[in-house]
Structure 1
Amino acid sequence: MSTKFSEDHEWLRSEADGSVTIGITHYAQDSLGDLVFVELPAVGSTVSKGDASCVIESVKAAADVKMPVSGTVLAVNEALVDNPALVNEDPEGAGWFVRLQPSDLSEADGLMDEAAYKAHIGA
């Protein structure tokens, strides 16, 4: 599995070690505007699919980042705490939020591929 997308504008990328990396899409960060605050879950915590495990605030609004799959938090992007603008600069790269060890990767089966996501946002 490569990168998949949720209807709520999160992305999920499978990594070579079996973990997944999660962030928000370019569309989401563009809609929110300049991010000024990011709250991340604790490493080692367990999250469930649909959980609002990250909180982001922009100059326009606050929003939750919902987990597209369940799992254990292996790592968080600490750089975002001091520099939330990384999400605006590179939302699908350096602006990632969480790396999880998924408990059931089949939960990602309902996510969209890039073509379906582009159709979803009208791109």
Structure 2
Amino acid sequence: MTVIEDELSLVFSALADPTRRAILERLAHGDATVNQLAEPFSITQQAISKHVQVLERAHLISRTRTAQSRPCVLDTERLDEAAGWIARHRQVWAERHDRLDEHLAALRTGRPRTGEPCAGETTA
């Protein structure tokens, strides 16, 4: 099986884990080192480092260099792209849901939807 790793898939995959979402929430309040990110979790710093690597690969965070420190910085561009994708598809899904509701209502009342012929009618 071939795994396609497009940018959007990497973002959603990274966001699928609650620890990584918590890391992103922490970084929304300001830059932090891996040690600082690891503080509230009952997992090893090595495990946090792996989560940070996943977030970096998805381009959700980056690491800068400040003297001896390498703080993690939130990069919201990919989050904005994911939110845009969701918004576009939410509109499509809402329209489909509305059409399904109309169709089901028409079936319950025995009336065709607008633009559809009645039973036994033919269109010219």
* Superposition TM-score, scaled by structure 2 size: 0.22
Between Structure 1 and Structure 2, which shows a larger proportion of strand residues? 1
Q: Does 1 or 2 have the higher relative contact order (CA < 8 Å, sep 6+)?
A: 1
More helix by share: 2
